[in-house]
Chains A and B, each alone.
Chain A
């Protein structure tokens, strides 16, 4: 039930944000401070999501097979692998470590 709520509310809110941009006068959202903060939000949130998905179980920091996958992804990115390769390398590495344990 809450899955549907997340789906509908996320979709509605994300669409409303997109539509807002097409309706409001440019000067409303063009403040220098707002622009600076907004430019940083993807970096901070994506960083937090890497941690939350790779190291967290509920409210605890847990080191497990996922971290091995993440390390492999990092190596793939440094080696300039394309996105799909990065994801597959992480999955395979994590699965191998998972089954070894």
Chain B
């Protein structure tokens, strides 16, 4: 790979570092949900898609069934398939490189790649790999730090870790609420989850809110 434009490198690095630090919150969430330090770190190494990871450990923490945890994580991961379709013609990787490209196909690598369009295809490709690799590195380092820290602290409620998890979800949700329509969808989903909670097995109310997405998204608005 020819050396990328400085601006691309700067974009990739700033996104990687900022997003990577969120890993501390995931590390703490994993421990608060009852996973070991090793398991928490393996989530970041193997699953490597933040919202899905938070969802999986979150549902387990809420006492949900494994199927609910896996289902919520998979549904949150579906957007990565759409990103992959956009990135595949750009990175044109084969064999092991394609495996690596797939693993680092996430919100951030796709966003930085697309934002480099004015600088040309080579810059887009560089943006994808640098951001994907950078987030992978920092996300995993900070997950380890968060997991070890939370493990050392113990007693999640005593340190507020049980509130840190919903706050992390709120922090992930917040930047997505770009307009009143999306804010209304969020409020509707919260109301739906509250109503469903006593009616379905633990954790299923989370996956069930997909119904809200299907109903609202069925027709063009």
Contact = CB atoms under 8 A, between A and B. Distances in A.
A80 B36 CA distance: 33
A46 to B, nearest CB: 4
Given A46-B172, A48-B189, A49-B169, A13 B70 contact: yes
Given A45-B75, A52-B58, A11 B46 contact: yes
Given A17-B78, A48-B193, A51-B190, A74 B216 contact: no
A10 B46 CA distance: 9
Nearest to A9: B70
Interface in A17-73: 17-24, 26, 29-30, 32-33, 35-61, 65-66, 68-70, 72-73
A87 B167 contact: yes
B175 to A, nearest CB: 9
B209 A90 contact: no
Nearest to A67: B163
A11 B42 contact: yes
B63 interface: yes
A10 to B, nearest CB: 5
Nearest to B177: A43
Nearest to B59: A52
A35 to B, nearest CB: 7
Contacts, number: 311
B77 A17 contact: yes
Contacts of B79: 38-39, 41-42
Contacts of B213: 37, 40-41, 43-45
B157 interface: yes
Instruction: Specify which of B49, B51, B102 lies most central, judged by the most chain A CB atoms within 10 Å of its CB.
Output: B102
A6 B66 contact: yes
A58 B218 contact: no
B169 A53 contact: yes
B205 to A, nearest CB: 6
23 contacts: A22-B85, A33-B217, A38-B78, A38-B82, A40-B212, A41-B75, A43-B213, A44-B213, A49-B58, A52-B59, A53-B61, A53-B166, A54-B163, A59-B200, A61-B194, A66-B162, A69-B164, A72-B167, A73-B170, A73-B171, A83-B22, A83-B168, A95-B163
Given A10-B56, A49-B54, A86-B167, 10 more contacts: A7-B43, A14-B80, A18-B105, A21-B105, A37-B218, A40-B213, A41-B213, A48-B192, A50-B190, A84-B25
